[in-house]
């Protein structure tokens, strides 16, 4: 995600910002409590967010003054903070933009839209609010003070994760990254000053003044900012579109992939008038297909109930092997299994482990493997390499593991041995394909 870090000036204060992409529309991102224009955008979820946004807009990000790489200064009013947005837009030669504010960035976005309507083409708010202390959120002062005491005592340890991303509390890598972000974004004193100021902000009176088309997104189970706060915004901003998303985590970085794509799809449609969905990634993968030989006869022999039990046991054996060899299960329809691997040697060894494991159940499987470029979108894997792997499996005999020449060549030196099974015509694929049977792994 190459992008030069630049500085705009809001009076005498230097504001760090970056511009990503060169799309036909401008999208200005106003961060929540924490920001760091370098570290923040190195996190994989944030990089994915940027890639999706870049597909339809020029994306402008910045650190509010007092945070990240911007000048560390004392407390600021909300009015002074919106000067950061104006200064960055001027420096980036941005006349008008869609303003996207999440969490604590919401009130700042609201005030900018009310103060500079001529510079706003649209407003997007996610997990945001008009006031912390007023209803419908209504956090009482004692509770807020206890929260600040906890923040001060544990700042830099990922203290905000249990509050903002409960699903990631046991994800040590995520907690460590977030602790690093806390330390880099602000000192304990600076973050406490910001949070005290945020508690006093009340942007409710701004809502009737918002003229720009508005999209409001909120997770229905948000554990930090209750969904009622999002509904309140939607009820008091004229013509606002309101969308509730599933889930409990407040942090965008903790969103599951499906919900994150839903959020981005809504924003893309709001900004452009259409949604294309995520572009599939193209990745080199080894695909594995396996299915039980003679399954129809076994169903007739065992009956439906016992067959289902045997099938579940077979899948348990296969999934244990996938876990051991770092495979990813894509589908297990009927008595077949489709999985992918980022290394062909492990895929071959996994196929051998599955074959030996299910033999102890009195079953035989046929297996096919191929390595090629696949399209990956969410949980789906597709492309010609997938079709090829399925056709290779279809050519295998009972108990046989067949691989394409590509797989054989890529595992050279790994100790895997093969027998040449000659050339085959694979249905729907051009030319002839030389296939090899695994004899030892």
Stretch 411-436: mean pLDDT, rounded?
92
Are 389 and 369 a contacting pair, CB within 8 Å? yes
Is residue 192 a contact partner of residue 148, using CB atoms and an 8 Å limit?
A: yes
Please check whether residue 160 is in contact with residue 250, taking contact to mean a CB–CB distance below 8 angstroms.
Answer: no
Q: Which CATH number fits domain 281-440: 3.30.70.1230, 3.40.50.2000, 3.60.15.10, 3.30.2020.10?
A: 3.30.70.1230
pLDDT digits (tens, 9 = 90+) for 278-311: 666 788 999 999 999 988 888 888 888 888 889 8
State both tokens at 429.
């694929």
Give CA 331 to chain center in angstroms.
Answer: 21
Per-residue confidence band for 277, with pLDDT thresholds at 50, 70 and 90: low
> Which pLDDT does position 305 carry in this prediction?
86
Q: What is residue 55's DSSP assignment?
A: T
Point out the least confidently predicted range of 11-25, 52-66, 263-277, 344-358. 263-277
Q: Give the pLDDT confidence score for residue 314 in this predicted structure.
A: 92
Phi, psi of 139 (to 5 degrees): -80, 125
Cis peptide before 313 (omega within 30 of 0): no
- pLDDT at 78 (0 to 100): 77
| Per-residue pLDDT, 65 | 85
**Structure confidence at residue 378 (pLDDT):** 66
Which class would CATH give 6-272? alpha beta
In whole angstroms, give the CA distance from residue 399 to residue 426. Answer: 19
Every domain of the chain with CATH number 3.30.70.1230 lies at 281-440
Structure tokens at 241: 């579109």
Statement: residue 1 has pLDDT above 60: no
Residues 159 and 146: their CA atoms lie apart, in Å, by 13
Note the pLDDT tens digit of each residue in 78-93. Answer: 777 899 999 999 999 9
Q: Is the pLDDT of residue 266 over 90?
A: yes
Q: Tell me which residue of 223, 25, 197, 200 sits closest to 124, measured CA to CA.
A: 25
**Percentages helix, strand, coil for the chain, rounded to the nearest 5?**
40, 25, 35
- What distances in angstroms separate CA 406 from CA 57, 286, 342, 372, 427, one per listed residue? 39, 10, 14, 8, 18
Nearest Cα residue to 186 out of 196, 177, 197, 194:
194
- The percent of residues above 70 in pLDDT, for the chain, comes to 98
CB within 8 Å of 116: residues ≥ 6 apart: 82, 86
CA separation for the pair 18, 9 (Å, rounded): 14
Contact status, residue 402 vs residue 369, Cβ threshold 8 Å: yes
What phi-psi label fits residue 236: left (phi over 0), alpha (psi between -120 and 50 degrees) or beta? alpha
pTM value is 0.68
Please state the rounded mean pLDDT for residues 14-32: 95
Which residues belong to CATH 3.40.50.1820 in the chain?
A: 6-272
Contact, 175 vs 164, CB < 8 A? no
Q: Would you state the pLDDT for residue 113?
A: 96
User: In this structure, what DSSP letter does residue 343 have?
Assistant: -
Q: From CA 310, how far away is CA 242, in angstroms rounded?
A: 48
290 within 8 A of 393, measured Cβ to Cβ: yes
Burial readout 134-160 (b: 16 or more C-beta within 10 A, e: otherwise): bebbeeeeeebeeeeeebeeebbebbb
The whole-number average pLDDT for the span 377-403 is 91
Count Cα neighbours of 340 within 13 Å in the Cβ-side half-sphere.
20
pLDDT at 441: 80
Q: Give the residue-averaged pLDDT of 102-106.
A: 95
Number of H helices and E strands in the chain, helices first, is: 14, 16
Q: Using an 8 Å Cβ cutoff, are 246 and 259 in contact?
A: yes
Strands (E), 210-276: 214-219, 241-245
The yes-or-no verdict on residue 377 having pLDDT over 80 is: no
396 pLDDT higher than 70: yes
- Closest Cα partner for 298 from 290, 287, 306? 306
The per-residue pLDDT for range 319-376, each reduced to its tens digit, is 999 999 999 999 987 788 999 998 899 999 999 999 999 999 999 999 999 999 998 8
């Amino acid at each position: 995600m190459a992008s030069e870090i630049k500085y705009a000036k809001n009076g005498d204060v230097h504001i760090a910002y970056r511009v990503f992409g060169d799309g036909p529309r401008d999208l200005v991102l106003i961060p929540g409590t924490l920001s760091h224009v370098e570290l923040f955008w190195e996190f994989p979820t944030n990089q994915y967010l940027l890639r999706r946004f870049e597909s339809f807009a020029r994306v402008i990000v910045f650190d509010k003054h007092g945070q990240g790489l911007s000048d560390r200064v004392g407390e600021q009013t909300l009015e002074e903070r919106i000067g950061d947005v104006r200064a960055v837009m001027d420096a980036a030669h941005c006349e008008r933009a869609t303003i996207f504010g999440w969490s604590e960035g919401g009130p700042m976005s609201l005030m900018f839209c009310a103060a500079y309507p001529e510079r706003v083409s649209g407003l997007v708010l996610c997990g945001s609010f008009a006031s912390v202390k007023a209803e419908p959120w209504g956090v009482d002062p004692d509770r807020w003070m206890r929260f600040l005491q906890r923040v001060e005592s544990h700042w830099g340890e990922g203290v905000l994760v249990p509050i903002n991303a409960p699903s990631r509390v046991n994800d040590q890598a995520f907690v460590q990254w977030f602790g690093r972000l806390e330390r880099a974004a602000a000192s304990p004193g600076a973050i406490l000053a910001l949070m005290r100021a945020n508690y006093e902000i009340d942007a409710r009176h701004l809502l009737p003044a918002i003229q720009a088309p508005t999209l409001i997104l909120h997770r229905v189970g948000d554990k930090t900012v209750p969904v009622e706060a999002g509904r309140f915004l939607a009820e008091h901003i004229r013509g606002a579109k309101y969308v509730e998303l599933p889930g409990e985590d407040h942090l965008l970085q903790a969103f599951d992939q499906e919900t994150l794509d839903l959020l981005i799809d809504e924003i893309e449609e709001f900004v452009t008038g259409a949604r294309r969905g995520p572009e599939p990634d193209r990745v080199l993968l080894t695909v594995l297909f396996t299915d039980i030989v003679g399954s129809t006869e076994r169903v007739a022999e065992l009956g439906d109930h016992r067959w289902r039990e045997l099938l579940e046991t077979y899948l348990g054996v296969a999934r244990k092997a996938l876990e051991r060899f770092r495979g990813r299960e894509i589908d297990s329809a009927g008595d077949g299994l489709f999985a992918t691997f980022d290394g062909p040697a492990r895929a071959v060894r996994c196929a051998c482990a599955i074959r030996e494991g299910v033999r102890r159940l009195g079953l035989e499987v046929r297996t096919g493997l191929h390595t090629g470029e696949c399209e990956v979108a969410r949980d789906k894997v597709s492309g010609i390499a997938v079709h090829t792997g399925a056709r290779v499996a279809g050519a295998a005999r009972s108990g046989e593991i067949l691989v394409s020449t590509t797989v054989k060549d890529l595992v050279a030196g790994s100790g895997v041995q093969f027998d040449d099974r000659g050339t085959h015509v694979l249905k729907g694929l051009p030319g002839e394909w030389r296939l090899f049977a695994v004899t030892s792994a």
